[in-house]
Amino acid sequence: MKKTGSLHVSTVEIGNDLFDRSVDVTHTLSIHDVHYEVNVRKRPCARATKKMILKGMTGIFKPGMNAILGPTGSGKSSLLDFLAGRKDPKDVSGDVLLDGSPPPKNYKCMVGYVVQDDVVMGTLTMPSSVTRQQRRLRVDQVIEELGLTECADRKVGTEFIRGVSGGERKRTNIGMELIISPPVLFLDEPTTGLDASTASSVMLLLKRMGDKGQTIVFSIHQPRYSIFKLFDNLMLLSAGETVYFGSAHKALEHFHSIGYVCEEHNNPADFFLDVVTGDVLTLADADTDAIHTEGLDESLQKKLVNGFQSSESNTKLMTEANNIHAQYRKQFESGTLVRQPPVLYATSFLTQLRIVSARSVLNLIRNPQTSIIQMLVTITFALIVGTIYFDINSSVESGIQNRIGAFFFVTMNQMFGAMSAVELFIKQRVIFIHENASGFYRVSAFFLAKVICDVVPMRLIPVVCFSTIVYWMVGFQQFVAKYLFFTMNLFFTTLAASGIAFAISAGVRVFAIANLGISMSFVIMMLFGGLLRNLNDLGDWISWIKWFSVIRYSLDALTINELKDQMFCTGTNCTSGNKYMDTQGIQYTTTWDLWQKEVALLGFVVITFILAYIQLRRIKKLS
């Protein structure tokens, strides 16, 4: 089984081997004595203590609807993450087996996982056709199964674009995972945020899939009865322990056997949660005294756990689970165990780069509001700067000052304008983590696609427009070569600033923290840019910071490009741009003095982009 290198239904890249598997093939997932613990600190500086989240869980999840039910904090999401291969193995003990064999190391890349919060690119559609016939047939099949035919060519929706409904969005997320026909489909709280009718339609869809042999495992909090009756198997958790596992339709019999009787017309799911949380109103009056007499010294939690462990359902579960595990241990000890091969990417790096790049371009085209606003702001600011410094003179009093002031403004505009790059990784962080963890594409493919198709055009086009307006309106030296250098310098400056924004934003989750860190970096660079403070008389203990100022390199390059060998006169009183640069300690005598500034800016671009890439690779994909 290979994980597709695709992104969404609209850009699927499915290998032919994905269609060779018969629809009649079913898969069983089993877990054996699973423990999961985490480090917990009650206070920031306090010593960490171990907290057990999952306590010796055993279960068998067969084809059909397998529900994990429990109150908040019972361990539902942690268990589901473990089942889907999304937990760090160093924190977990126990075995997970797929069809009686250990899954491959990157098992998470072969299963489907629909997260609680819908993760889907808002500007993508689900077209009813793609290029290759076999892929088209698979896409058509998924769209039909999900009941999305009528909205197949509609955008999912963004904050600017009206899109599909909540139920259609949820089904789109399910469809993204179903494209590769995963052996097991996991869903975390699939009804969250949906109204009753939409929730029922989504669960009916899953039920139909389960009846066809698909193994579906999902966590759910408090379903209504019309949804509960769709469950084939139920796992009820309380404080990280199993208090029931077995047929959902026999759960009431189990609780009745230990003294808890569900009132007539009460929703069984609500009843189970009331029992687990200790709501005494759910106790049968006839059995209350007996239960309290027998379990007077036992806590409710222990009573429920012991009640299940001594039940017929647990006996049946442990017998079957022990047989599966014993067969696995026998093969392991005899050396005859055949391990499943690692799951590989179904597509090459170049294919992934092409698809992710196409998605980035498509996203820009279908969501033009941000680009249009950015262009309008760029043109407006360019006109303001051009108006203030319009047809700048060459007098001794103001010729140099006005030019340096204009350079400072345009440089700062490029620096702080690049802060919009923060959204690139923070806004799509959840999508990236989910898709990369699921094996859709490599980190390098995602990063390069963003740089090539998102960063460069969104920076280059505005810079060209800005520099063209400002350069000729202000009246800098009327040479095309100098204008091109001016434009190139601003482009390198904004790329360097974007790289800094990437490196910082790729390492944090909160937009405000990223903005604060980037702003502080830019302010420090501004202070050591050479305009607000002469850097020649700074002490050695602090002057070294100037070598890390993008603004300094950009200002020096623009100054040399414009002022070198230029004279400024008022009557007979003249001065030269060279003299000003001498007072500022700017080296300008050779061609290398000019171009080394651009090399330094490119160095910033390369280093910060590499740091951003490293940060993306370091993002924790497993919880």
Q: pLDDT tens digits, residue range 236-258?
A: 998 889 999 999 999 999 988 88
What's the whole-number mean pLDDT along residues 329-343? 70
User: What pLDDT is attached to residue 127?
Assistant: 42
pLDDT bracket for residue 150 (50, 70, 90): low
Q: Are residues 307 and 370 in the same domain?
A: no
Residue 278 lies in a domain: yes
Residue 3 lies in a domain: no
- pLDDT single digits (tens) 345-381: 667 788 888 888 888 887 777 777 777 888 898 899 9
Q: Are residues 320 and 440 in the same domain?
A: no
Which residues have a Cβ under 8 Å from the Cβ of 620 and sit 6 or more positions away? none
Provide long-range contacts, Cβ within 8 A and 24+ apart, for 573-581. 573/396, 574/396, 575/396, 575/400, 577/400, 580/400
What domain count does the chain have?
Answer: 2
User: Which range of residues forms the domain containing residue 572?
Assistant: 349-618
Residue 452 lies in a domain: yes
Residue 209 burial (CB < 10 Å; 0-12/13-18/19+)? buried
- Domain stop point among 302, 334, 366: 334
pLDDT bracket for residue 408 (50, 70, 90): very high
What's the whole-number mean pLDDT along residues 83-102? 84
Q: Are residues 288 and 362 in the same domain?
A: no
Q: What does the alpha-carbon distance between residue 475 and residue 486 come to, in Å, rounded to a whole number?
A: 13
Amino acid at 266: N
Q: Are residues 412 and 444 in the same domain?
A: yes
- pLDDT single digits (tens) 19-69: 333 345 788 999 999 998 887 766 666 677 778 888 889 999 999 999 999
Q: What does the alpha-carbon distance between residue 3 and residue 350 come to, in Å, rounded to a whole number?
A: 16
Residue 623 lies in a domain: no
Residue 341 lies in a domain: no
Domain of residue 91, CATH code? 3.40.50.300
Q: Are residues 215 and 190 in the same domain?
A: yes
Query: What is the C-alpha end-to-end distance of the chain, expressed in Å?
Result: 24
User: What pLDDT is attached to residue 107?
Assistant: 77
User: What pLDDT is attached to residue 278?
Assistant: 77
| Contact present, 525 and 500 (Cβ < 8 Å) | no
Kindly provide the residue ranges of all beta strands, DSSP E only, lying in 26-154, ordered along the sequence: 29-40, 49-61, 64-69, 92-98, 112-114
Residue 340 lies in a domain: no
Q: Are residues 260 and 385 in the same domain?
A: no
Q: Are residues 99 and 136 in the same domain?
A: yes
Q: Are residues 320 and 411 in the same domain?
A: no
- pLDDT at residue 10 is higher than 70: no
DSSP state of 3: B
Residue 2 lies in a domain: no
Q: Are residues 320 and 367 in the same domain?
A: no
Residue 377 lies in a domain: yes
Q: Are residues 271 and 377 in the same domain?
A: no
User: What pLDDT is attached to residue 407?
Assistant: 93
Q: Are residues 65 and 122 in the same domain?
A: yes
User: What pLDDT is attached to residue 138?
Assistant: 67
Q: Are residues 327 and 366 in the same domain?
A: no
- pLDDT at residue 305 is higher than 80: yes
- Domain stop point among 334, 366, 396: 334
